[in-house]
Structure 1
Amino acid sequence: MPMLGLGTWQNDDPSECTESVKTALEMGYRHIDTAQAYGNEEAVGEGIEQADVDREDVFLATKVWIDQLNHDDVVESTKESMEKLGVDYLDLLYIHWPSGDYDPEETLGAFDELVEEGLIERIGVSNFTPDHLEEAIETAENPIFANQVEMHPLLPQEELREFAEENDVELVAYSPLARGDVMDVDVLNDVAEKHDASAVQVSLAWLREKGVTAIPKATSEEHIRDNWESLAVDLDEEDVQAIDDIDETDRKVNPDFAPDAW
């Protein structure tokens, strides 16, 4: 899984979404993330189709929404997502939240079947706590490949990172720029100045140093490129420690249906 991807949450203007996906892929991105709940799977699929990049070179992920998590709905809605995206397999399929119709045995049983049928290559979960993640690992017949959660320098997710590393689960960071708030953090701006970079690029580089894949949302070519150029930013131990020392817990995404002990 490429460690920098394009997130598409709230990218709900069809033409803009299609163009941003096409732009990102032709710039060099190879990881595209969407979800049933985003309402843009068709536009994402169109962007992949228009880009001068082979489908097999694109790591494509989508997510099953909380009202589609019983066995039959998982299977049916996933096939609908694939039709909208215009693909015959998904590189990664996530459970969007451990909420709503989520039942570990029923939901993950359907995901296992999709793997066996060759419709999805990997099982993912999203917004899972360590307890939810442990339960999923024990329940699924196939490995849990990734857990997608909010993570950024203002929400470092230390406990979850440690648990994921111990259990060979990849972490994928959504909202990796804290909804733009990273640009107002003095420590990040100081490190950015040192590297002739932006606070955005430093935040993405910090996630990469933690072994975490980031999927920042961007729609304009300028922002897509700015995020892409974070791959050239190499932080040293002093930089990483300075960012670790920010020591804040500023969660930006916290819906009513989020899990307890969140």
Structure 2
Amino acid sequence: MSPLLLLLLAGCVAGALNAVGGGGTFVALPALVSVGLSPVTANASSTIALVPGAVAGAWVYRRDHIPVGPAPTWALTCVSVVGGGIGAGVLLLLPASSFEAAVPWLLAFATVLLAFGRHVSRALSDALGRPLGMSSTAVLIGQLVLAMYGGYFGGAVGIMMMALWSIGLGLDTAAANPMRITQLAAVYLSATALFVVASDALSSAHFLAALLIGAVAGGAGGAHLARRLPPWLLRSVILTSAVTMTVLYFVRG
């Protein structure tokens, strides 16, 4: 298979995964490394390429957003943009090896929270005798940390968002999926702006273009598919994606 065709197909799969359940980075990053890009350049390139797909998915979902607890959507999006830019700056300044060592454990933690978050939230609410909920400030601080992680590495940041919202607010993963897509787009957008200016991702523009075209098609198609899936099936897909990514990252590490 030619490198361009490989990246086109990888982009389709990555864009669709991000729209449906998350995990696109795990497909896009190895594909770019396999055609000869360095890990840091591949990481920057995959973020740039996945932006249009995330934006396409956010557009499909534009009428399906629900609030993330008490935090205003505009504030959540601003925090995602700022955090994504900070994380991208850290990637360009520091080696990624030390942080990558922690990624499998972060994913494992996020997957457990995603699987049992609503049950834990309900149990804590019953024990306290009142609804459990993060304050607006807590939601925004948590989102800032996750957005910085997303700008730095990007792998499964959407899954971690879902885990945070599930355990802290009791949000249903299927209902919160449209907001996850929109916040992913915000994180990637600011990171991309910095990567385009400060990284060497554009030195392999033909590889980047192939991945980007595939990601747009996959992102739009995946979002349309996700909107038609029953909530229980969408929750199952998201959780399966989280478990699979966690296992793959442990194996890869």
**TM-score scaled by structure 2?**
0.27
Return the TM-score normalized by structure 1.
0.26
Q: Which has the higher contact order (CA 8 A, sep 6+)?
A: 2
